Structure 1
Amino acid sequence: MRQKLTGGCLCKSIRYEVDEVFDSGYCHCSMCRKLSGAPVLVWGVVKAPYFRLVKGTPTEYASSENGIRGFCPTCGSQLFYRNKVSDDIEINLGTLDNPELVEPKVHVFTDNQLSWFQLSDSLPRYQDNVIPDPEYRSGNSQ
């Protein structure tokens, strides 16, 4: 069953809707740290047909060869990462109106995790972002 989620930027200039979050987790890579200004970024994967911008136009930035990041040109909120290779959009879960509805399922890029930032959950951890489909994921890969 799909559940429509809504979200947007801090100043409410940009709004989006999501029908289904496929996967979610914590990213410990240095790029996400710089982007978010936090020791970790929490993301949710959405297949492109299930993501809709309903208000405003984000500014896009090609942050890597494979990805485009969308953010609000007014308040600077980072909203999503659009993967140019797959059909995935990774939303920043902190931009959801109710982030409690999507729980992280995994940690990625743990080889870049800051030594002073420790999460004590039992979620699977991966040194990079090559992870199994959530249906087939079990245990800890490190």
Structure 2
Amino acid sequence: MTETNNHKGSCLCGAVQIEVAGDLPEADACHCTNCRKQSGHYWASTDIPAGALTVRGEENVSWYQSSEKVRRGFCKTCGSFLFWDANTVDKTAVAMGCFDTPTRTKLWSHIFVADKGDYYQIDDGVLQRDQ
């Protein structure tokens, strides 16, 4: 029998809990202005197919429509930034910081590095893209 790699996580207060069935895809770090303003630095996430993500405490998730195509989900109790959802795809970006470790994945790219803050350098050797 093969053991499935399920990954669990939660917001800071535990009101929202997630579980992902299977391995986590590699993550990316977004340095765009919107992600930096909402997360306080940059946003690291992994894209989870809709059928693999289970959210418990969904009534504690508030959604902010940050643009015509994108909404951002956070815990309305503790404010943890948890999800990024582009209403047009069948996957949800889930914050890497909410997962319990070990995640058994890695960061594969930095995106929107042209918008990054001037107070830090990206020197981890991971692929960088302007957009």
Common fold: TM-score over 0.5: yes
- Aligned pair partner of 1:4 in 3, 6, 17: 6
Equivalent pairs: percent with the same residue? 29
Q: 1:65 aligns with which of 60, 63, 68?
A: 68
Query: Structure 1 length as normaliser, TM-score?
Result: 0.81
- How many residues are paired up? 127
Q: Conserved in 2, the CA contact under 8 Å of 1:23 and 1:46?
A: no
How far is 1:51 from its partner? 0.8
Match of residue 131 from structure 1:
none
Deviates more, 1:48-57 or 1:67-76: 48-57
Q: 1:16 to 1:70 in 2, by over 3 A?
A: same
Shift in Å at residue 47 of structure 1?
A: 1.0
- TM-score normalized by structure 2? 0.87
Q: What is the SS of the residue equivalent to 1:105?
A: strand
TM-superposed CA distance for 1:3, in Å, is: 2.0
Give the letter aligned to residue 74 of structure 1.
Answer: T
Q: Where has structure 1 moved over 4 Å in runs of 4 or more? A: none
Task: Please state how far the C-alpha of 1:10 moved relative to its aligned partner.
Answer: 0.6
Deviates more, 1:26-35 or 1:52-61: 52-61
Give the corresponding residue for 1:43.
Answer: 45
**Structure 2: how far apart are the matches of 1:99 and 1:61?**
29
Aligned residue among 94, 103, 106 for 1:103: 106
Which amino acid letter does the alignment assign opposite residue 60 of structure 1?
A: W
- The CA RMSD measured in Å over matched residues stands at 1.7
Gaps of 5+ in 2: none
Corresponding residue SS for 1:101: coil
SS class of match (2:128): coil
Residue 116 of structure 2 is matched in structure 1 by: 113
Q: Greater strand percent: which structure?
A: 2
Could you list the per-position Cα deviations for residues 110-129 of structure 1 after superposition, in whole angstroms to 9, with x for gaps in the alignment? Answer: 1112233112122111111x
Alpha-carbon distance in structure 1 between the residues aligned to 2:102 and 2:94: 11
